[in-house]
C-alpha cells in the first residue's frame, strides 16, 4: 500500500479522497491555491501545500515537482482538471509516481471518441451516429459538410469533455457556426483543447451511465446503472440509481455492453460507460469517462462499496476483493447537486461568504461538501459546493427522505439552487419517474404551490415589510410626563 498520496484537486472530491486515505492509513497531501486557503481540504489533510503556479491545477510539471519534494508515491486526480490527461499520467510514470486511475494508453483510446465508437460498432454494440472525424479551429466549411451528411438536429461536443462542458445543441444550419464557436471557446477554457466533433441528436432520451471497476489482473465488474436525465446547462443536477424507466431486459443489456466495452479497451481502475436510450427503448453507446465521476456516491449507497478506496487498492496492485456475484444492489438512491448560483438571475454564479450552514441529518442521508459556517465560496472555481445523497428502500421512500433533507438543508449567504431543487423533486413528471432529457428545469415552477407554502410566504413578506418600514419613535412613560416625581420633591410652602 502507498505511504503518501498527493491529491491534485480541491473541494468536496479532495475531502472525499482525504477521508479514504485516512481510513486506509495513508498519509494525504493537499494542494491549494490562495482562494482556498481556509478550505476544509486544507485543514483536514495531513499536509497542505500552496500551489503558486498561475496555471493552478493544470500545471503538470509543478504538481510533479511538489509530489517528488514531499515524498508522495501516488497521485489521485479526482475529477476534472488533469483526471483524464494522458500527458499527466506519462509524467507521473516518468517520475516514478503511481497515477490512481487508468493508464495513459487507456485514456488516449477512450478520449478518441470517434475511434471508440468504431470499436464498439465492430463489436456489435449500437452507437450514436457521429462525425467521421474531429474538427479543430478554422474548419467551418468541413463542419458544415459533415453536419449536412448527419442531418439536423445535431450536437456539437468537445473531444475532451464529451457530454457536458462544451456541448451545444444545433437545431438548423443557421445556428451551427455560433454553436461551434461557443463550444470551442468553452472547451478551450475548461480543457485547454478546442477540438470538437458532431453527433446526431437523440431528443427526449434517457442518459444512462454504468459504473465499472477493473483491476490489473483482468477482473472487471459493474455496479448497475445511474440515470442523469435532469440536466441544466449541460450539467446533471439530479441523478438516481437504478434508472426508473428501464425494463429488466434493457438493464441487463446495458450492463453486459458496459462490461464488454471495458474489456475491449483493456480498462483499469474506476470508470463510467455512458449510453443514451431513445423513446423506443433502443440503446446507444456514446462514450467512456475514464475517471471517478461526481455521482459515484449513488453507487456507493446502493452497493455499500467504497469506490475511492477500491481505486487506491487497484492502483497499488491489489486485485478486486469481490466478483460480480458478490455485488448486491439494494434499494434506491438519489443525488442532488447543490451549486452557488442564482436560479432567479439566469443561474449566474454567486460566490461569497456563507454566514450559516445547516446540513440535513438522519438515517441514510449523506452530504459531500466543503462548506461550513463562515466559509468562502471562491469565484475562481466551479459553482458546485455540495452533493446531497439519499437512500431509501424503494423510490417513494427515497423521494420522501430527499424532500425532507432538502427542507432541512439551509445555506444563509449567497443564493444557491436549493429552492429550485425542491421544486423539481415535487414535479409530477419527476415523481412518476417519467422524465427524460427533455425535462424542463424551471426555477419558477408552474405557479401551483401548496397552500401552506403560500401562507408561509405571505407571513414572511409581511414581517419583512414591517421590519423595513417601522420608524423609530421614542416615547416617555406617562408617569414621567405627569411630573409626579417633581411634585414629590417640592418643598412645602
Residue 483 DSSP label:
T
Cβ-based neighbours of 470, under 8 Å, separated by 6 or more: none
Which of 435, 309, 417 has the alpha carbon at shortest distance from 23?
309
Cβ-based neighbours of 392, under 8 Å, separated by 6 or more: 331, 332, 333, 364, 398, 399, 400, 401
Q: For residue 340, what is its C-alpha cell?
A: 452557488
Task: Kindly provide the b/e burial profile for residues 200-214, where b requires at least 16 CB atoms within 10 angstroms of the residue's own CB.
Answer: bbbeebbbbbbbbbb
| Residue 299 and residue 291 in contact, taking contact as beta carbons nearer than 8 Å | no
CA distance 245 to 267: 28
CA distance 224 to 207: 14
CA distance readout (Å), 104 to 60, 84, 148: 14, 9, 35
CA distance 273 to 377: 32
| Residue 188 and residue 181 in contact, taking contact as beta carbons nearer than 8 Å | no
Tell me the catalytic residues. Answer: 291
Which of 283, 290, 294, 289 has the alpha carbon at shortest distance from 243?
283
Cα dihedral sign, 125-118-132-136: positive
Please report the DSSP string for 284-321 in residue order: EEEEEE-S--TTHHHHHHHH---HHHHHHHHHTTPPPS
CA distance 5 to 275: 33
CA distance 133 to 142: 10
Amino acid at each position: 500500500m502507498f505511504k503518501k498520496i498527493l491529491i491534485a484537486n480541491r473541494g468536496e472530491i479532495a475531502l472525499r479522497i482525504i477521508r479514504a486515505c485516512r481510513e486506509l492509513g495513508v498519509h494525504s497531501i493537499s494542494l491549494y491555491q490562495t482562494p482556498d486557503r481556509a478550505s476544509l481540504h486544507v485543514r483536514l489533510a495531513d499536509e497542505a501545500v500552496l500551489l503558486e503556479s498561475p496555471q493552478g491545477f493544470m500545471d503538470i510539471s509543478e504538481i510533479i515537482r511538489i509530489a517528488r519534494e514531499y515524498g508522495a508515491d501516488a497521485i489521485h486526480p479526482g475529477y476534472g482538471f488533469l483526471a483524464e490527461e494522458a500527458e499527466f499520467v506519462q509524467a507521473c510514470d516518468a517520475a516514478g509516481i503511481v497515477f490512481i486511475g487508468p493508464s495513459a494508453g487507456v485514456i488516449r483510446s477512450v478520449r478518441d471518441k470517434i475511434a471508440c465508437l468504431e470499436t464498439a460498432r465492430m463489436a456489435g454494440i449500437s452507437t450514436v451516429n457521429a462525425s467521421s472525424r474531429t474538427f479543430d479551429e478554422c474548419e467551418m466549411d468541413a463542419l458544415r459538410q459533415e453536419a449536412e451528411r448527419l442531418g439536423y438536429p445535431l450536437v456539437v461536443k468537445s473531444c475532451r469533455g464529451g457530454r457536458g462542458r462544451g456541448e451545444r445543441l444545433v437545431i438548423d444550419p443557421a445556428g451551427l457556426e455560433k454553436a461551434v464557436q461557443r463550444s470551442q471557446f468553452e472547451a478551450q477554457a475548461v480543457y485547454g483543447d478546442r477540438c470538437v466533433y458532431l453527433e446526431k441528436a437523440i431528443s427526449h432520451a434517457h442518459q444512462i451511465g454504468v459504473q465499472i471497476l477493473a483491476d490489473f489482473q483482468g477482473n472487471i465488474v459493474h455496479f448497475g446503472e445511474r440515470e442523469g436525465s435532469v440536466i441544466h446547462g449541460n450539467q446533471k443536477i439530479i441523478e438516481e440509481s437504478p434508472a426508473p424507466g428501464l425494463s429488466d431486459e434493457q438493464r441487463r443489456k446495458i450492463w453486459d455492453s458496459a462490461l464488454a466495452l471495458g474489456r475491449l479497451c483493456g480498462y483499469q481502475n474506476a470508470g463510467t460507460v455512458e449510453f443514451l436510450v431513445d423513446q423506443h427503448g433502443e440503446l446507444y453507446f456514446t462514450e467512456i469517462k475514464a475517471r471517478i465521476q461526481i455521482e459515484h456516491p449513488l453507487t456507493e449507497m446502493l452497493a455499500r462499496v467504497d469506490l475511492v478506496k477500491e481505486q487506491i487498492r487497484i492502483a497499488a496492485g491489489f486485485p478486486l476483493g469481490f466478483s460480480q456475484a458478490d455485488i448486491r444492489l439494494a434499494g434506491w438512491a438519489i443525488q442532488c447537486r447543490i451549486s452557488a448560483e442564482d436560479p432567479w438571475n439566469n443561474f449566474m454564479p454567486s460566490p461569497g461568504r456563507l454566514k450559516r450552514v445547516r446540513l440535513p441529518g438522519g438515517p441514510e442521508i449523506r452530504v459531500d461538501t466543503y462548506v461550513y459556517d463562515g466559509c468562502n465560496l471562491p469565484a475562481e472555481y466551479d459553482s458546485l459546493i455540495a452533493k446531497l445523497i439519499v437512500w431509501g428502500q424503494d423510490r417513494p421512500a427515497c423521494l420522501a427522505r430527499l424532500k425532507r433533507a432538502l427542507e432541512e438543508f439551509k445555506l444563509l449567504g449567497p443564493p444557491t439552487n436549493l429552492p429550485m431543487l425542491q421544486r423539481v423533486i415535487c414535479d409530477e413528471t419527476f415523481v412518476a419517474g417519467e422524465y427524460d432529457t427533455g425535462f424542463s428545469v424551471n426555477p419558477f415552477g408552474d405557479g401551483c404551490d401548496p397552500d401552506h407554502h403560500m401562507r408561509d410566504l405571505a407571513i414572511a413578506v409581511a414581517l419583512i415589510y414591517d421590519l423595513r418600514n417601522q420608524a423609530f419613535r421614542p416615547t416617555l412613560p406617562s408617569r414621567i410626563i405627569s411630573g409626579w416625581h417633581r411634585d414629590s420633591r417640592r418643598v412645602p410652602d
